[in-house]
Structures are given as C-alpha cells and as structure tokens.
Structure 1
C-alpha cells in the first residue's frame, strides 16, 4: 500500500486486503498465535481458491472445513497488522525440541561481508533429532573459515540456531527454473558427513 511506511513496505508483505481474513496459527495445535509469535499463515476470503482441480486429497490437505487455506508459510504479524513471511513449514528444522527456521539464520549470515549466498537445512542427529548445516558461497577473493562463520553467529543468535556444520560451495543444487533444492542439499550433506536418518517413532 502506498500509504504504508517505507520500512514496512520493504520488510513485510503488507497488511491483509479488505474482505479477506488472515490468521497466524500454531502448526501443531491449530490455535491462533499471539501478535509477534511465528506460526502458519492461514487465509480465507473471496480471493482464496476453492480447491485443486480434480484433486480432493490435495484440497483437503490445504483447506480446512471452515474454509481456511493453510499456506505452508511460516509468518509473524506485528502489532500494526503487517505480516512478515519467515520461511516454509517443510523447511523447518526441529533441533532438540526447538523449531528453527532456516531463513532466520540465512538472513543473519548474509550480513557477513564475505558471504555471497547461503542456504541452511537440517541433517539427522542422534542426540538432537536434527542438526543445522549451512551451505556458504563466498564473494570473489573472500576468505572465511568454518570457525569464523560459527564465531560470527555466537552470542548474536540463539545458541541452538548456530550451524553445527559449515559447507563451503560455489553453487547450490537448483531446479531448471533456478529454485534451490534443499532436499538435495540435505541428501548431499548426509552422505558427505556420514550421517544416517533417525527413526522418529
């Protein structure tokens, strides 16, 4: 919206449109999250699809009985009603019972002058369930060690969000349309680190 403050226009996806409803819910309980707490972005209204064409199963998974579409996006709403999308549920890492959203770590690491690009994903861990691996691409001529990346994070982000593994790479696995394939990054990391998938039940 043109009347929104500049900082809100560049750092959020804005406010909900007229005649459309939005709520942020806990993905596990379905309960609405308080202002400032991250959860799944759900929306309902005239602009929301009725369902997937000839795909009842997909429709049932995305739209609940009350007409709310569950977007799969992790978002947070501020006290002024502006929404910021911070990641995808499918990318979420659960480390020692703590939910970790890769985008948070990626955005923080991008503040390092030596880093050109970064992608974060989870890998299995026998103690914590999952651990964090950061794939880091450095700028031309830049030098950065694994220890320096971790030191950059220490005491600046929560200790459980500090990547345990750092993998330096010039490029990342991509689709033909240029979308990062995090599942392939996970597969490659598991193989290179000699890890095994953990049984969850």
Structure 2
C-alpha cells in the first residue's frame, strides 16, 4: 500500500481478514528520508486506522495556513510541514523548486492537508493539489473516497473535479466494482450517500472502470483521470450523471 493514502476501511480489513493485528501506518515522502510519523502497535485501533501517528524521534511537525505560513491551532486543517535531521538539503540542481517547498528555517512543506489532535496524532485528509472548488465550497476528495469504501459493491474509488459551467467544478467518482456486483449508477450512489455526506460532496458523475491509470510505482494518476474525464464528458452520454436520471 506504499505511496498512497490507505483508507480506514482497508486498514480494518487488513487487521480483521489478514490477522495483522500489529500493523501500523507510517507517513513520509522521499524528501523526508522517508518516514516522519508513525502509529504504534499499542495505539488504539481507531488511531491506527485513521491517523498516521505522531512525529518520529527528533522530528518536528506543524500544521500551517498555506497562504500565510502561520501555525494553526490544534484541530485545524492546514498544510502539513515537517522539520528535522530527516529532511533533504534540496533537489539536485533545482534551487527554485527547492525554495518552493523548503524554507530557510528548515521546515518542509509537504503539500498534504492534515490536522493534529491534542495528543499529537495527525490525520491526513487530502492533497492540496487535489482540492475541488465547487460553487465556492472547498472539497477534499479523500473524505469522499473514505466514504465510498463503505459501499458494499465498491472495491476501490477515486474522486476528482471536472469543469462545470454553473459551479466551476463538479465531482466525479471513478470506481472499481467487486466481482458479481451489479452496475452502479450515479443515482444509486447518490441515494446511498444522502444523509451521510453533505449534498454538495456527493459525486454528480460516476465512471465505472476496471483499473485506474497509475505511475510505474503504482500511484494513481489523477491528472490523467481528469483529462480522460473531460474528453468523455465532451462526448456526451458516456458518463453516468444523476441529474440526467432525475430530469
């Protein structure tokens, strides 16, 4: 599961079905050598499946306002930053790119959205670059993807934003279905989500696929998914749209 966020539901199944009771989650990136936080086997189950734990020894973590760089209060969502011996010195011969993520004070900007609780446990809620702005509302796909994993017919799900004339962006869910599952419609997914997700967070479009486009290391390529989605929407009647079903 390395390289991508692990949904809560998947972690619970790893523990229950694969009998890996002591499995933990760690967080990091290549630029941080790579792990800067981790849960412990003796942490409560809820913490081990929903957080990436607390900072590693001699590492610092803070949550900041991405616009101002100011440290935010406990419980607030913002950009996750880390500092310590584990942080890289910089990108090779790329001073400008280094300056974008690494400050003179040693703090590394990860580009991830997260919040920290009173005990120092951090929950990663999404990527800043994946944020969808729908009608002025900031939406992080990670929250919706976590919910979609609770659907009995969905094996895997990815949520992206696509252009929309009225709202600026609309939500689209790419889903992989379990073997034997019936076709999943956007209207059926909407009915499943009502009462659990805010209405503006329910994907308007559903695209059922066999697999997601990925990099050579297995990371999902959401940029490619967006490009493909725009092309499909331009063709018309290719993507399932719950609004079309209600007209």
TM-score, structure 1 as length reference: 0.89
Shift in alpha-carbon separation, 1:2–1:180, aligned structure 2, 3 A: closer
Instruction: List aligned pairs for 1:112-191, cutoff 5 A.
Output: 112-143=151-182, 144-191=184-231
Task: Provide the residue aligned with 1:199 in structure 2.
Answer: none
1:51 aligns with 2:90: yes
Q: What CA distance in whole angstroms lies between the structure 2 residues aligned with 1:115 and 1:6?
A: 23
1:5 is matched with: 44
Separation in 2, partners of 1:105, 1:95: 14
**Cα distance between partner residues in 2 of 1:66 and 1:157:** 40
1:115 Cα deviation (Å)?
A: 0.6
- Shift of the alpha carbon at 1:151? 1.2
Query: 2: CA distance between counterparts of 1:89 and 1:115?
Result: 25
Give the 3-state SS of the residue equivalent to 2:123 in structure 1: strand
What is the CA distance between 1:23 and its match in structure 2? 0.8
RMSD (Å), alpha carbons: 1.7
Mean CA deviation greater in 107-116 or 177-186: 177-186
Q: How far apart in 1 are the matches of 2:176 and 2:107?
A: 39
CA distance in 2: counterparts of 1:106 and 1:121, whole angstroms: 10
Deviates more, 1:108-117 or 1:152-161: 152-161
- Using a 3 Å threshold, how does the CA distance of structure 1 residues 41 and 140 change in structure 2: closer, same or farther? same
Residue 29 of structure 1 deviates from its aligned partner by 3.1
Distance in 2, Cα, partners of 1:12 & 1:81: 10
Q: In 2, distance between residues paired with 1:178 and 1:59?
A: 25
Cα deviation for residue 138 of structure 1 reads: 1.1
Q: Is 1:72 aligned with 2:111?
A: yes
Q: CA deviation at 1:36?
A: 2.0
Q: How far apart are 1:73 and its partner, in Å?
A: 1.1
Shift of residue 37 of structure 1? Answer: 2.2
User: In the aligned structure 2, how far is the partner of 1:150 from the partner of 1:89?
Assistant: 25
Q: Pick closer, same or farther for the CA change 1:36–1:58 going to 2, 3 Å.
A: same
1:113-151 C-alpha deviation (Å, 9 max, x unpaired): 011111111111122221110011111111222211111
SS of the residue corresponding to residue 104 of structure 1 reads helix
Instruction: Normalising by structure 2, report the TM-score.
Output: 0.74
Residues 186 and 204 of structure 2 are in contact (CA less than 8 Å); yes or no, is this contact kept in structure 1?
A: no
- The equivalences for 1:16-27 within 5 A come to 16-27=55-66
Structure 1 position 158, deviation (Å): 1.7
- Which residue does the alignment assign to 2:132? 93
Is residue 79 of structure 2 the alignment partner of residue 40 of structure 1? Answer: yes
3-state SS of paired residue (2:55): coil
